[in-house]
């Protein structure tokens, strides 16, 4: 299958590390050293995962595709505005599309790759051929800013992608393969990081376990998806990992023997934008990619889940 377009939405408000110094005493230097984050975006109180998803769809070029031909919408978020009228339904409402499958998933920060695999399934069944994938996380709405363990990590953002079964003159990337897997049975998966919406905000009592497993499983998924398609690590041109922590990204690059500059990152200025982070990074770096570049998007989500998508730039 093929990706023809990616658009993103980022809220205007910038929150610098100085803000956290004021409210919870964490210094700019301390945050930078441990996470690489210098600033992040924060949605307005009137925004939410549904409205951000719609903003990302609005940012798609109206010239590149007739959105009325979309025959599948898959949304993803773990910071839901509404668990009933989900972000995928909000996008359907915005586009006024009828009688097409519409669903939203949650596998935390790995949800983007899971959503792409669901699209792959609909294409394989012949039930769709032109999908819209929307990913959005409104982390700050569920974050306690005073929490010195995780309050400073989170940013908000959204992305939308057009994914087609067959290539057309808009195709920019060919999806060669997708791997996803849960790791809900590993380490501190049940309580490493959690969001129990009926009982408060994000909690991350076992950040070290999350960190270690993120490094391990994003490395594993990258190697797996390359190997099973006959590629070697040396064939890889760019890695687009989940944007959780710059130290995780550097650790994964090191394990893979990849030069740091090949592991793309936006966490410095966006923070952890959840399942949207890697898609935003992919979109931001389109200008960099050359024809036939091999790119792996790899993800790890609290809970735990991991995955990798191997694409060729066209």
Residues forming contacts to a second copy in the complex (CB under 8 A) are 73, 78-86, 88-93, 95-108, 111, 114, 117-118, 120-122, 124-125, 127, 141-142, 180-186, 189-191, 193-198, 301-305
Supply the minimum distance, in Å, between the C-beta of residue 107 and a second copy: 5
Which contiguous run of DSSP H or E holds residue 13? strand 13-16
Q: Judged by CB, which is closer to a second copy: 127, or 208?
A: 127
* Cis, peptide link before residue 215, omega less than 30° from 0: no
Active site residue 139: no
Q: Which residues in 214-224 are b (16+ Cβ under 10 Å) and which e? A: bbbbbbbbbbb
272 tagged catalytic? yes
Q: What is the DSSP letter of 216?
A: H
- Which residue is catalytic, options 109, 215, 275, 278? 109
Strand partners, 157: 137
Query: Is residue 273 a contact partner of residue 243, using CB atoms and an 8 Å limit?
Result: yes
Question: From CA 39, how far away is CA 28, in angstroms rounded?
Answer: 10
Cross-strand partners of 295: 238, 311
CB of 2 to a second copy, least distance (A): 16
Shortest distance (Å) from residue 200 CB to a second copy:
11
Token representation of residue 283: 């979109």
SS3 121: helix
Rounded to 5°, the CA angle 64-70-74 comes to 115
Nearer to a second copy, 123 or 238 (CB): 123
C-alpha closest to that of 298 among 272, 279, 271, 270: 279
Is the CB of 58 or the CB of 288 nearer to a second copy? 58
Q: Quick one: 289 or 304, whose CB is closer to a second copy?
A: 304
Which residue number, 189 or 253, has a Cβ lying nearer to a second copy?
A: 189
Shortest reach from residue 141's CB to a second copy, in Å: 6
CB of 78 to a second copy, least distance (A): 4
**φ, ψ at 54 (rounded to 5°):** -65, -40
Name the active-site residue from 138, 152, 242, 275: 242
Catalytic residue among 138, 272, 275, 278: 272
Catalytic residue at 89? Answer: no
For the annotated catalytic residues, the residue numbers are 109, 242, 272
């Amino acid at each position: 299958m093929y990706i023809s377009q990616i658009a993103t939405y980022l809220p205007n408000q910038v929150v610098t590390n100085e803000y956290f110094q004021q409210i919870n005493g964490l210094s700019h230097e301390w945050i930078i050293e441990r996470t690489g984050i210098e600033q992040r975006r924060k949605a307005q109180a009137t925004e939410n995962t549904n409205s951000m998803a719609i903003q990302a769809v609005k940012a798609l070029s109206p010239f590149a595709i007739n959105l009325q031909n979309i025959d599948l919408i898959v949304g993803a978020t773990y910071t839901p505005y509404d668990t009933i009228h989900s972000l995928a339904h909000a996008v359907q409402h915005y586009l006024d599309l009828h009688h097409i499958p519409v669903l939203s998933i949650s596998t935390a920060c790995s949800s983007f790759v899971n959503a792409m695999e669901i699209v792959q399934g609909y294409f394989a069944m012949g039930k769709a051929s032109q999908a819209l994938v929307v990913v959005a996380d409104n982390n700050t709405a569920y974050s306690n800013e005073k929490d010195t363990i995780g309050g400073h990590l989170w940013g908000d953002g959204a992305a939308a992608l057009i994914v087609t079964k067959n290539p057309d003159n808009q195709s920019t990337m060919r999806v060669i393969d997708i791997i996803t897997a849960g790791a809900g049975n590993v380490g501190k998966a049940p309580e490493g990081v959690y969001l129990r919406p009926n009982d408060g905000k994000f909690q991350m009592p076992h950040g070290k376990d999350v960190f270690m497993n993120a490094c391990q499983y994003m490395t594993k998924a990258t190697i797996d998806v390359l190997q099973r398609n006959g590629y070697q690590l040396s064939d890889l041109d760019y890695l687009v990992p989940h944007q959780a922590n710059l130290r995780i990204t550097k650790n994964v690059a090191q394990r893979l023997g990849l030069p740091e500059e090949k592991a793309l990152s936006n966490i410095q200025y966006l923070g952890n934008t959840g399942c949207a982070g890697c898609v935003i990074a992919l979109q931001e770096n389109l200008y960099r990619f050359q024809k036939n570049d091999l790119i792996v998007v790899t993800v790890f989500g609290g809970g735990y889940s991991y995955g990798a998508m191997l694409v060729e730039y066209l």
